[in-house]
Amino acid sequence: MFFKKIQQVAARDWEAWVSEHDAVVLDVREPHEWAQGILAGAKKVQLTMLPNALASLDTTRPVLVVCRSGNRSQHAARFLIDQGFANVANLSGGMRALGLAV
């Protein structure tokens, strides 16, 4: 089975990537993690709730998926690609790489 490689966006480049692609930032962390801070304009959807939130997302708009360390967001990005999203990227290292999570 062929898997599309998920683009990895470095922490230092996330704002430029979002701006360049007019992308949605999708934060798939848990509510207690959101309380530590979120990226400006991010849409918050817990990873476990992502299948239920698909109807609220535009499959044609680029998405940068974010979590604490980059692991959950990698899984979420793969799920979105499998659901037909055209342009999905993962924030490499997550919020920890930005110094915004422990």
Name the residues annotated as catalytic.
Answer: 67
Sign of CA dihedral 91, 67, 15, 17: positive
Residue by residue, DSSP assigns 66-83 as E-SSSHHHHHHHHHHHHT
Residue 56: name the closest of 43, 68, 38, 46 by CA: 43
